Structure 1
Amino acid sequence: MVFEKVFCENCRNDVEYNVIEEQMIGTIKGETYTYTGKVAKCKECKSDIFVNSINDYNLKALYDVYREKNGIISLEKVLGICEKYNISKRPLSLLLGWGEQTYSRYCNGDIPSKQYSDILNKIYESPVFYSEILENNKEKLSSEIAYKKSKKAVDKILEGNLNEESKINMVINYILNRCGDITPLALQKSLYYVQGFYYAFNDKFLFEEDCQAWAHGPVYPEVYFKYKHFKFDPIESKIEVSDTIFTSSELIIIENVVKHFCCYSGKVLEKFTHSEYPWLETRGEIPELESSTEIIKKEYIGKYFKDVKEKYNMINPNDIESYAKKMFDCM
């Protein structure tokens, strides 16, 4: 690699140089950190020489170690947020209720506090979280265009997050084929009951995706964003799915949920979930209609449906009917 010549104080001349890696020690806020830096050495006299770009590299390497050790978001992620969600620096600061230049300073290398770092990291990692912030705080943006551009970007990400070959998507397609008029709300609750009862009878979960405790009950965010354009109407998506893609233990659970839960409307199923421990425990003190992206822990779901199985003396999945009828009678 050819480097631009720089001045060597020892040779008193502009010289070429070699770059080698070295273990270095730096101090930030009274704490010392070891990091891998670079040193430029004059090709003529072999002495260390100062190179601006290498000095900048070493500072970044030191601060990268500091960020990692202290759980602070990386500069790459900070810079990636604007590109990922198609929003400029100033509008993002306004969206978050920060000073107009706060986010710009972080993009220039300033280290955010742990509190601000956690927010930025969650924004980067969770398009659902960012989408919620965008919707709730859009009035803080000075331009409707900025909102629309960013909304389009995050919606595109969310709509593409559902893996077409995932188990949950296979279950969705099967349910849609078996139920002619299921709405997005009813689909969400059906998936939740498939997940819960599958665990109750098999001691493992059918799909890996987490659901969240939204105001209208458990919701799988990726599924919501894929079908949200149907709103309150039945989903018009029919993809042929053979029952041979499921094991017998999977199929019998799905069939019994279709038979005993999908016969109810989404609003009825929503009321079912509002009386159940996993959703109630996760919501905690959150007001009834307030939005939330809190994940319903799988351990809550597993324990609750195990207890339901025992309480209703369920011998096989056909006995799921007793729980569904009881829930409806208690409304």
Structure 2
Amino acid sequence: MADRAFCPRCYEDVEFNTVKDTETIELDGAKYTYRIRKAICATCGAEAVHNPYRQEAGEAFDDAVREANGIVSLTIVRDLPKKYNIGKRPLSTLLGWGELTYSRFMEGAIPNREYSDIIKDLYDHPESFKALLLRNGEKIKPVAKRKASEAVDHALHNQYPDAVRIYEVAERMIDLAEGDITPMALQKLVYYAQAFSAILCDAPLFLQPPRAWAAGPVYGQLWHEYKHGVLIPDAVSRDDSPFSDDENDVIEGVYEAFGRYSGPELSRFTHSEEPWVEARQRAGAQDGDWCEEQISLESIVAYFGPIAEKYKIRSSDRIKHYVNDLANKPS
């Protein structure tokens, strides 16, 4: 049966046509304009009452008010649990909020600015949700944690095709450092692992290019996950490692060669290397400028290939000879 609406002119339920329109409402001296759909009686042409469209218009007005005041939309509030396949109560628990807090937001309660910003960040950045799950995942049931973990990994793969692989490299570096590593140093160790694996293995550990940020190469999802510090992952034996023996050798060789240097020292090393320098130049970035320019894998291979030849790096245990020269370069 076709959907019907009540026509006040015909005074009966009628078939209708849908037209798109905009509506403007003034509230407390401010005007809010939003898109709506109207039901138009197919018999007389008058506007008919269709409850789903009325509810939709109410939500559109609510979203317009929220947007104008910098508050997350009701649509995003309701979509967030779907995106990460997590229930309202487990999500509240994961966030450290009251058990029914997120349920109230989904029913239309307006969050304060702090809670709103958290919801928007989690929705826009799967890496932020991944970090939250890593920090607080033990607070929810294992089944809920597993489902949310699978969903966020899927979202990350769509946004960052190598996301899971990059996390694996990062976790291996944290494991080798026994947790004694800063987020800046971790970024650079992952970068050098990518670079030398491209030269010493059949293929690089992952393909995602880093960005040429002011402090050196950075992988966005790692920055979001570890910006507040690193957590020691569960230990994984070499037998259970996701890496081949050659890949493990490169990761361990990079850590052995670079791991004794601080984040700022590693940042200084990358500032003397062509891939980062050329990416910044392409973007016209000056010292300290924000820059989202990618450092291409091609430029990494073009630079580190000759480095491997110069220092006779046929295996990972010779990477340290290159690093020693970097360390002795004047600032």
Map 1:113-128 onto structure 2 (within 5 A): 113-128=112-127
Counterpart position of 1:6: 6
SS in 2 for 1:73: coil
Counterpart position of 1:327: 327
SS in 1 for 2:34: strand
Deviations 1:248-291 (A, max 9, x none): xxxxxxxxxxxxx9996516524424344969xxxxxxxxxxxx
Deviation at 1:51, TM superposition (A): 2.3
Distance 2:252 2:97 in 1: 48
Q: Count the aligned residue pairs.
A: 252
Aligned residues with identical type, % of pairs = 27
Distance 1:273 1:322 in 2: 17
Distance 1:156 1:26 in 2: 40
Counterpart residue identity of residue 272, structure 1: Y
Deviation at 1:86, TM superposition (A): 2.1
2:74/2:106 contact within 8 Å kept: yes
2:41/2:47 contact within 8 Å kept: yes
2:25/2:33 contact within 8 Å kept: yes
Deviations 1:230-264 (A, max 9, x none): 7997942779xxxxxxxxxxxxxxxxxxxxx9996
Deviations 1:64-87 (A, max 9, x none): 323333333333433332233221
Deviation at 1:137, TM superposition (A): 1.7
2:193/2:254 contact within 8 Å kept: no
Asked if 1:69 is matched to 2:77, the reply is no
Counterpart position of 1:266: 255
Counterpart position of 1:286: none
Q: 2:223 pairs with 207, 212, 221, which one? A: 212
Distance 2:132 2:138 in 1: 11
Q: Please, which moves more after superposition, 59-68 or 229-238?
A: 229-238
1:218/1:273 contact within 8 Å kept: no
Q: Using structure 2 for the length normalisation, give the TM-score.
A: 0.55
1:26/1:33 contact within 8 Å kept: yes
Deviation at 1:96, TM superposition (A): 0.6
Asked if 1:144 is matched to 2:142, the reply is yes
Distance 1:173 1:208, change over 3 A: closer
Distance 1:195 1:217, change over 3 A: farther
Counterpart residue identity of residue 69, structure 2: N
Distance 1:48 1:154, change over 3 A: closer
Q: 2:244 pairs with 233, 236, 249, which one? A: 236
Deviations 1:141-188 (A, max 9, x none): 2x2222232223334444665447xxx9999666225347xxx9xx9x
Map 1:1-331 onto structure 2 (within 5 A): 2-8=2-8, 10-27=9-26, 31-141=30-140, 143-158=141-156, 162-163=160-161, 175-176=196-197, 178-179=199-200, 209-210=219-220, 212=223, 235-236=243-244, 265-266=254-255, 269-276=258-265, 300=288, 324-325=324-325, 327=327
SS in 1 for 2:25: strand
Distance 1:104 1:39, change over 3 A: same
Distance 1:122 1:214, change over 3 A: closer
SS in 2 for 1:99: coil
2:5/2:50 contact within 8 Å kept: no
2:19/2:39 contact within 8 Å kept: yes
Distance 1:161 1:272, change over 3 A: farther
Deviations 1:272-318 (A, max 9, x none): 24344969xxxxxxxxxxxxxxxxx9964999xxxxxxxxxxxx988
Distance 1:216 1:233, change over 3 A: farther
Q: Which runs of 5+ in 1 are unaligned?
A: 220-224, 240-260, 280-296, 304-315
Deviation at 1:19, TM superposition (A): 3.5
2:7/2:46 contact within 8 Å kept: no
Deviation at 1:88, TM superposition (A): 0.9
SS in 1 for 2:261: helix
SS in 2 for 1:212: helix
Q: Please, what is the CA RMSD of the aligned residues? A: 5.3
Deviations 1:29-52 (A, max 9, x none): 653202232333444554433321
Distance 1:17 1:130 in 2: 43
Q: Using structure 1 for the length normalisation, give the TM-score.
A: 0.55
